[in-house]
Amino acid sequence: MINKSVLLFLFLSLTTFSQNNFDFVKINYKSFLLDEREEYGCFLYEETTLVTSNLKSFYYEKARDTIIQTMSMGEMDNTSATYNFTYFKDFEKKQVYLNRDYGLKKIIIDSTNNIKWEITKNRKKVMGYSCQEAKGVFRGRNYKAYFLKDIPISNGPFKFDGLPGIILKVQSDDGSVNIEAYEIEYNKDVKFNFSNPFEGKDTATWYEFKEFYKRRLEKVKNYNPEDGMSFSIPIGYIEKFVDE
């Protein structure tokens, strides 16, 4: 049973959200990907942070410590992973820049608002907030997203955006992907520098990246080392890089 002080806190939080015009909000998420149904499988366990206004945003990914046992890939040890990746969205230009290049060594430029959402009447509690459900298809998977209209910023974690409120939770219908907020901060008085950190860097389009990854995948598949070892890479992670 929820006590009165918790209910009062949630009510005051929602009231505060609805009464403020946001310069930006900061949301921390836990992001989990485990797909063992692909030929080679993929795994990610991350701490991610979204800092966003209505015009621009940053999304940061870093690995979280964990060791899990999977059915097809055996033990997955994330304890020594030290990567940090950045996604920068510019909604005026309808572009997202990312330095997670999977070996291309260029900044990849993709487009925003890639998902055609269908908003449903279903709702789900996320962090105590009543969020509305939307369904959409994004690069190989069907998703449900849960957004909060009280924060009127049309953005969310990773490349999920385009809804009339901030997205606090995303989950794929196949159970492989789950991204869920656990902390929200906002301050309309503090200014945040939303300058593009990748300006002037060597870039590639999303199509060019897909062509590169396809060639890399074929090279790995056809590689036969003398000692009989095998190598593999997945066809994608949260999003599929290679069309099936």
pLDDT (average), residues 16-44: 72
Distance CA 106, CA 187 (A): 34
Lowest mean pLDDT of 9-13, 179-183, 204-208, 216-220, name the range.
9-13
Burial (CB < 10 A; 0-12, 13-18, 19+), residue 106, is middle
- E runs forming strands in 1-154: 25-35, 42-52, 56-63, 67-70, 74-77, 84-90, 95-98, 107-111, 118-126, 129-138, 141-148
- What is the pLDDT at residue 14? 46
162 SS3 class? coil
Q: If you search the block for the tokens 């002037």, which residue do you land on?
A: 200
Would you state the structure tokens that stand for residue 55, as one six-digit string?
């015009």
Q: How far apart are the first and last CA of the chain?
A: 48
Q: What is the dihedral of CA 109, 96, 179, 215, to 10 degrees?
A: -10
Say which residue, 150 or 14, is predicted with more confidence.
150
Domain boundaries, the chain: 22-112+176-221
Higher pLDDT, 76 or 59: 59
Residue 131 predicted with pLDDT over 50: yes
Banded pLDDT at 187 (limits 50, 70, 90): confident
Which pLDDT belongs to residue 23?
A: 78
Q: How much is the pTM? A: 0.84
Single out the residue of 113, 106, 105 nearest to residue 89, CA to CA: 113
Please enumerate in sequence order all residues whose Cβ is within 8 A of that of 75, keeping only pairs 6 or more positions apart, or say none. Answer: 67, 68, 69
Query: Within the chain, how many helices (H) and strands (E) appear?
Result: 2, 14
Percent of the chain with pLDDT over 90: 59
